[in-house]
Chain A
Amino acid sequence: MAYLKDQRRETMMVEGSWNIGAYRYKGSTQLQEYVDGLKEKKLIGSLCPGCGKVIVQPRNICGRCHRRMDKRMVVSHKGTITCFVISPPIEKGKYKIIGIDPVEAGIIQEGAILVPVFVRFDGADSNINTILLNSSPEQVHIGMRVKAVFVENPEGKLSDLEGVEPLKE
């Protein structure tokens, strides 16, 4: 194959940009219903009248039945961990998300070990991605029973649900 070059020379570098700040996306208001629920420490999901699946956080359309999920359901605070991952101790300058270093910004403590989990709350047919609190990486396992942890004074924001913690039944 003739075009395979062994010796390469650099070309000139031409700068360009892509202005993505100009987009005006249209969002739906289903999340409003969800956060209104959080304010009352309720977890609201959407119920499909076709297949009966309950999806938390609520979504608009059930692809299985190709119809709107216009009914709402409240699911339990108790749930089960279906999956987890464990971070190494978080160090300064290692990760950047949307240009922010979480340690530098004081959002996560240096050396902390995070355990993001998938939780399926009782009554839901979907997972929620959140954080395991008040536990340790040694304790976490699939099938672990947990309950939702809310902030003290919920204001109707997504951050009202802080995470989940082990449940003693």
Chain B
Amino acid sequence: MLRNAAIIGCGQTKHSGRRRDVSQAELVSEAVHNALEDAQVSMKEVNALVVGNMQGFGGVAQPELWIGDWIGAPGKPVLRIATGGTTGGSVGQGGFYAVMSGLYDIVVATAWEKHSDSKEAGATTGLLHVALANFFHAFGYGLSMKNLLATSAVGAAAGVAAYQARFYMHRSGCRSEHFDMVAAKCRRNAARNKYAHLQWPNCTPEDIHKTDVIVHPFRMGHVCPASDGASAIVIACEDIALKKCQRPAWVKGLASYSDEENQMQSESGGGVGVLDPSEQMGCRLSAMKAYAQAGIKDPQQEIDVAEIYQPVPSQELFFSEKLGLFDEGKAWIALEKGETEINGRMPCDPSGGVNATNAIGSSALQRILEAGLQVMGKAEDHQVPKKVRNAVAHGWGGVTNYVTVTVLGETPAPRR
């Protein structure tokens, strides 16, 4: 990196299933307003914005053109980035690059999703669209309804994640009960985060275990909700960050590697060469590059807290391994020992994570934001009770092939 950048302010909205008190534009402005207030920066001082969501969910094409007026964008550069589930992570990284490039000094990065704007439950209008073109194509070649329904009906709620979980269980020896433990931990942590969606104080693994099975190995209690919400961060260059903020969260490393699609389908119905969708080479490569930039040699020792994108609990386990926080296949053992609790050795998702709050476009930016809060010491009730030198934020999406990894720290990265 030729120029340092840091988060100097964070803002998010209250997340819930239906934010019926605001429009999409008002929702975004709420987050941006909160971020600017937190950073003590006025919109006049902001040089550029990086924005993003998934257009299909809100049903508005290029919403930044309409929403721009609500967030002070007119007259400024606006870059729209959208990469599916990782949209927020890509938007955050776009904001960092904008400052690191030297082109802009203060940048606001904001991402959002308003699921309840979609009439259908779970906002499936947008999600199905990923596959629709391919389904229609396959129907043309006599795909039977029976096959489609059988293979996708049972997986509709969990999709490829259920297969991922099975692969991971087979590799590591982890059991469905461990998923109960992760989900319960996320609900409990969320109860300490006033912005989170699914809050459940004192939730126990037994509580989760009582919920219905959707598809083995997943229960209803394992799955993330669909939330309405937005998040925003203010990013500044070194001089301004030092002037404006007592304890900025410095960007030390960032990468977003993509792998081959691994959801059994490529363009026009072809197969894919990734046999195990929990392999996640994109995550490994991203983590390796981000750690190298950050000068981190041993993530197990040098990372103090992780914000992992985990719509289902199994993902927290195997992604934490791919991020190098635990040995391969050992994350569930650390979970059993309580190491991933807020007060544990390697806290994972002290905010409750995506498992408790999932406003898709926003989710991965929220990971960066929450990691930033931990570094800045501003996470309030869910602040980890130890010194945070480095925090890692992860995002995941696409047809399971896109990953963003961002490392934030209390000091800038060592110069190359």
Is there any pair of Cβ atoms, one from A and one from B, under 8 angstroms apart in the complex? yes
**Closest CB-CB distance, A60 to chain B, in whole Å?**
6
**Closest CB-CB distance, A34 to chain B, in whole Å?**
8
Q: Which A residue sits closest to B29, measured CB to CB?
A: A3
Task: Indicate with 1 or 0, residue by residue over A50-71, a CB within 8 angstroms of chain B CB atoms.
Answer: 0001011111101110000000
Q: Does B65 contact A (CB under 8 A)?
A: no
A102 to B148, CA, bound (A): 10
Q: Does B202 contact A (CB under 8 A)?
A: no
Q: Which B residue sits closest to A62, measured CB to CB?
A: B273
- The answer to whether A27 touches B154 (Cβ under 8 A) is no
Q: Does A167 contact B (CB under 8 A)?
A: no
- The answer to whether B271 touches A58 (Cβ under 8 A) is yes
**B269: chain A residues within 8 A (beta carbon):** 27, 30-31, 57
**Closest CB-CB distance, A143 to chain B, in whole Å?**
9
- Tell me which of B59, B215, B270 contacts A85 (CB under 8 A): B215
- Tell me which of A86, A108, A159 contacts B142 (CB under 8 A): A159
Q: Does A164 contact B (CB under 8 A)?
A: no
A47 to B19, CA, bound (A): 50
Known A16-B59, A27-B137: A130·B147 in contact at CB below 8 Å: yes
Interface segment out of the listed B31-39, B85-93, B339-347, B359-367: B31-39
**B170: chain A residues within 8 A (beta carbon):** 83, 142
**Closest CB-CB distance, B145 to chain A, in whole Å?**
6
Q: Does A120 contact B (CB under 8 A)?
A: yes
Q: Does B20 contact A (CB under 8 A)?
A: yes
- The answer to whether A116 touches B272 (Cβ under 8 A) is no
Q: Does B153 contact A (CB under 8 A)?
A: yes
**A155: chain B residues within 8 A (beta carbon):** 142
Task: Indicate with 1 or 0, residue by residue over A82-114, a CB within 8 angstroms of chain B CB atoms.
Answer: 111111101000010110101001011000001
Chain B residue total in the interface (Cβ 8 A): 66
Interface segment out of the listed B43-51, B71-79, B125-133: B125-133
Interface residues of B in 203-231 (CB under 8 A from A): 212-217
Q: Which A residue sits closest to B149, measured CB to CB?
A: A102
Q: Does B268 contact A (CB under 8 A)?
A: yes
Q: Does B172 contact A (CB under 8 A)?
A: no
Chain A residue total in the interface (Cβ 8 A): 70
Q: Does B275 contact A (CB under 8 A)?
A: yes
Q: Which A residue sits closest to B258, measured CB to CB?
A: A63
**Closest CB-CB distance, B260 to chain A, in whole Å?**
5
**B142: chain A residues within 8 A (beta carbon):** 35, 155-160
- The answer to whether B141 touches A25 (Cβ under 8 A) is no
- The answer to whether B38 touches A85 (Cβ under 8 A) is no
**A1: chain B residues within 8 A (beta carbon):** 11, 34, 37-38
Interface residues of A in 21-39 (CB under 8 A from B): 23, 25, 27-28, 30-32, 34-35
Q: Which A residue sits closest to B154, measured CB to CB?
A: A87
Known A156-B142, A158-B138: A4·B14 in contact at CB below 8 Å: yes
Known A35-B142, A158-B144: A116·B23 in contact at CB below 8 Å: no
- The answer to whether A63 touches B260 (Cβ under 8 A) is yes
Q: Which B residue sits closest to A118, measured CB to CB?
A: B163
Q: Does B21 contact A (CB under 8 A)?
A: yes
Q: Which A residue sits closest to B26, measured CB to CB?
A: A11
- The answer to whether A45 touches B271 (Cβ under 8 A) is yes
- The answer to whether B11 touches A88 (Cβ under 8 A) is no
- The answer to whether A9 touches B155 (Cβ under 8 A) is no
Q: Which A residue sits closest to B216, measured CB to CB?
A: A86
**B214: chain A residues within 8 A (beta carbon):** 88
- The answer to whether B147 touches A159 (Cβ under 8 A) is yes
**A32: chain B residues within 8 A (beta carbon):** 141
**A162: chain B residues within 8 A (beta carbon):** 147
- The answer to whether A85 touches B212 (Cβ under 8 A) is no
**A87: chain B residues within 8 A (beta carbon):** 153-154, 215-216
A128 to B266, CA, bound (A): 12
Chain B interfacial positions (CB closer than 8 Å to A): 11, 13-14, 19-23, 30, 33-34, 37-38, 56, 59, 125, 128-129, 132-133, 135-138, 140-156, 162-163, 166-167, 170, 194-195, 212-217, 260, 264, 266-273, 275-276
8 closest residue pairs by CB, A with B:
A157-B142, A59-B270, A159-B144, A8-B21, A87-B154, A126-B271, A86-B216, A27-B137
- Give me 23 A-to-B residue pairs in the complex whose CB atoms sit less than 8 angstroms apart, sorted by A's number: A1-B11, A5-B21, A9-B21, A31-B137, A31-B138, A31-B270, A55-B270, A60-B266, A63-B260, A64-B260, A87-B154, A88-B213, A95-B154, A98-B128, A120-B275, A126-B275, A127-B271, A129-B151, A158-B142, A158-B147, A159-B143, A159-B144, A163-B147
